[in-house]
Amino acid sequence: MSTTDLNSRSRHWVAVTLAGVLAAALAGCQPATAPSKPAAAATGAGKINGHPDLNGVWQAASSAHWNIEDHSASALSQFWQLGAIAAIPAGQSIVEGGTIPYKPEALAQREANRAGWPKTDPEAKCYMPGIPRATYMPFPFRIVQGDGDILFVYEFASANRMVHMSNHQEPPVDSWMGWSNGHWDGDTLVIEVTGNNDQTWFDRAGNYHSASMKVTERYTRKGDNNLMYEATIEDPETFSQPWKISLPLYRRLEPNAQLLEFKCVEFAEELLYGDLTKK
């Protein structure tokens, strides 16, 4: 099956199930605005069924979407006409230990991915970003938490996923956003993401994985308006050992905070199909 077919099937499956899950989740939702009392978590307020209320619009504030490892500011030679507008900002690694533990042959593939950027980047083609990349892209996302399953909705490419808090199952097929089974570990939401296809990257620097990847996410509320995000990556085909990323997420506090439409397919059509339309 082609990459395009997989992408289409994944979008269709999510679209079919989204309405029912959203309705169920919204039934128990609290307002997305920040709790009024600073000590809300300690007093038992701001909780749903005894668990922290994670509802809201959240966003990362880092340059990890460019490169999850340490990187200096640099120019994009492909877009030199834009000057500083198209420059890459410097950033500190969000990888524990600083460096991704690639196997030698996998590191060579990362360098090939990087050399072919941006055409080789799934983001440029408007493919769904996968986990964990969707979390720290330069776009907000919404968590919809109710009495049952938890819904994550992402602005980029209209991507979304259900976190199954009960009735855990094995993924029926590999897909762009994987299959998410969740549980609470005290006040931390833990999500195991399996069934990931091998078409997504971690960033714009060519960092990638195989279809064997398993991601274990941890969302921990550290205050009224911020979460600590951690994700442990396991992929024995690509990496010599499991490794972890971590970064804070911040609540969008605008009174009208919401996800805006970013259906990027039309922006990618020339990249994907331009060769077919040129004489």
Q: Which residues lie below 8 Å from residue 56, measured CB to CB, with a gap of 6+?
A: 32, 33, 34, 142, 143, 251, 252, 257
Compute and round to an integer the Cα radius of gyration of the chain. 19
* Whether pTM exceeds 0.95: no
Distance separating alpha carbons of residues 251 and 140, to the nearest angstrom: 9
DSSP bridge pairs for 88:
74
172 preceded by cis ω (within 30°)?
Answer: no
Question: What are the sequence ranges of the domains in the chain?
Answer: 3-30+48-72+89-253+262-277
Distance separating alpha carbons of residues 228 and 254, to the nearest angstrom: 21
Classify the C-alpha dihedral 81-85-90-96 as positive or negative. negative
| pLDDT for the residue 11 | 45
With CA atoms as reference, report the closest residue to 180 among 134, 223, 125. 134
pLDDT averaged per 10 residues, the chain (length 279)? 44 42 42 40 64 98 98 94 96 98 98 96 98 98 97 97 97 98 98 98 98 98 97 98 98 96 94 78
Q: Which residues lie below 8 Å from residue 184, measured CB to CB, with a gap of 6+?
A: 51, 190
| pLDDT for the residue 225 | 97
* Contact indicator for 264, 126 with CB cutoff of 8 Å: yes
* Contact indicator for 101, 240 with CB cutoff of 8 Å: yes
Q: What Å distances lie between residue 218 and 21, 27, 184, 188, CA to CA? A: 22, 24, 9, 6
